[in-house]
Amino acid sequence: MGSVSEKGIHTDFKDNMTYGEYLRLDKVLSSQERLSGHHDEMLFIVIHQVKELWMKLILHELNAAIAAIEKDELPEAFKMLARVSRVQEQIIQAWDVLSTLTPAEYTEFRESLGRASGFQSYQNRLIEFALGYKQPHILKIYEKDQDLARELKSAFEAPGIYDVAIHALRQAGFPINLDLLTRDFSITYQGDPTVAAAWLEVYRDVDRYWDLYQLAEKLVDIEDSHQQWRFRHMKTVERIIGSKTGTGGSSGVKYLRSVLDHQFFPELWDVRTKL
């Protein structure tokens, strides 16, 4: 068995550890229980589990990128944000796999899902919080689970990636409204003329502000892909359940279409009109 090394690194591993032990495949591969017993429910479970795993990586990278930007270590953050973008490509592509599920096939096991819904995916909420989208009613969904509620509340109150990007603008000398740096981060950012003016300057003088320009374009990549994922979700839902109401109690596709229009980084989209 391993121990703690001189550098304090935990080396608690079994000498003859196997591939399956390392990856905890006993847990991972015994977690696909088809409640209906229907053949196509396997696809449904695997798609969701893979998505949750990719979201775990996205959160790991996004949170580290937020910390790096806060410390003004922009190149480190670019590496992480580029990885987030590649993962987003994977999860967008995954809709093509789920689209092989026909309405008739889904109907066969939909009832066994009860009132469970992707609406309850807390990792999805943590990603939206990291991107700065904070809707207070979302926290109520998780009130019953205290540990989870605590984790979500802390992410809800923490600065999102755009908040630290605004901090980086200030660090670079732009005259950013100081209230933005100490604001209540549990409120979704509403836009500010000093931030708009700073990004415009960055985009007009790319050579001078190369790192900030890179940061801005990485953020646009991420928002663009996040919205593509949500759009594909809405269209896939439409082709599988039409306009049926959702198991989570919403109006279904109508609800999903209505939540598509939120912009995470408003000035980065507005700046395009001014260039």
Ligand X SMILES: N[C@@H](CC(=O)c1ccccc1NC=O)C(=O)O
Shortest CB 126 distance to ligand X, Å: 17
Beta-bridge mates of residue 268: none
Q: Is 47 annotated as a binding residue?
A: yes
One residue of 34, 38, 64, 118 binding ligand X per CB under 6 A: 118
Residue with smaller CB distance to ligand X, 92 or 241: 241
Residue with smaller CB distance to ligand HEM, 101 or 212: 101
Q: Is 4 annotated as a binding residue?
A: no
Retrieve residue 104's tokens: 């008739």
Integer angstrom CA distances of residue 76 from 58, 65, 89, 209: 15, 7, 21, 17
Q: Is 48 annotated as a binding residue?
A: yes
Q: Is 44 annotated as a binding residue?
A: yes
Q: Which stretch binds ligand HEM (CB under 6 A): 34-42, 111-119, 179-187, 203-211?
A: 111-119
Q: Is 48 in the site for ligand X (CB under 6 A)?
A: yes
In the region spanning residues 208 to 267, those forming contacts with ligand X, defined by CB under 6 A, are: 241, 246-248
Backbone angles phi, psi at 154, to 5 degrees: -65, -40
Burial 113-127 (b: 16+ CB within 10 A, else e): eeeeeebeebebbbb
Cα distance between residue 199 and residue 216, in whole Å: 8
Q: Which residues contact 178 (CB under 8 A, 6 or more apart)?
A: 170
From the list ligand X, ligand HEM, none, which binds 171 (C-beta under 5 to 8 Å, kind-based)? none
Cα distance between residue 226 and residue 221, in whole Å: 9
10 DSSP 8-state letter: B
From the list ligand X, ligand HEM, none, which binds 116 (C-beta under 5 to 8 Å, kind-based)? ligand X
Q: Is 159 in the site for ligand X (CB under 6 A)?
A: no
Q: Which stretch binds ligand X (CB under 6 A): 30-38, 74-82, 111-119, 169-177?
A: 111-119
* Helix intervals (H) in 23-179: 25-28, 41-70, 74-98, 103-110, 122-130, 137-140, 146-157, 161-171
From the list ligand X, ligand HEM, none, which binds 92 (C-beta under 5 to 8 Å, kind-based)? none
Q: Is 226 annotated as a binding residue?
A: no
Q: Is 117 in the site for ligand X (CB under 6 A)?
A: yes
> Three-class SS of residue 4?
strand
Cα distance between residue 120 and residue 15, in whole Å: 40
From the list ligand X, ligand HEM, none, which binds 113 (C-beta under 5 to 8 Å, kind-based)? ligand X
Shortest CB 117 distance to ligand X, Å: 4
Q: Is 34 in the site for ligand X (CB under 6 A)?
A: no
Shortest CB 269 distance to ligand HEM, Å: 19
Q: Which residues contact 183 (CB under 8 A, 6 or more apart)?
A: 163
Binding-site size for ligand HEM (CB under 6 A) equals 23
In the region spanning residues 216 to 245, those forming contacts with ligand HEM, defined by CB under 6 A, are: 233, 237, 240-241
Cα distance between residue 152 and residue 168, in whole Å: 25
Q: Interface with ligand X by CB under 6 A: which residues?
A: 48, 110, 113, 116-118, 241, 246-248
Q: Interface with ligand HEM by CB under 6 A: which residues?
A: 47-48, 51, 98, 106, 117-119, 121, 124, 233, 237, 240-241, 246-250, 252, 255-256, 259
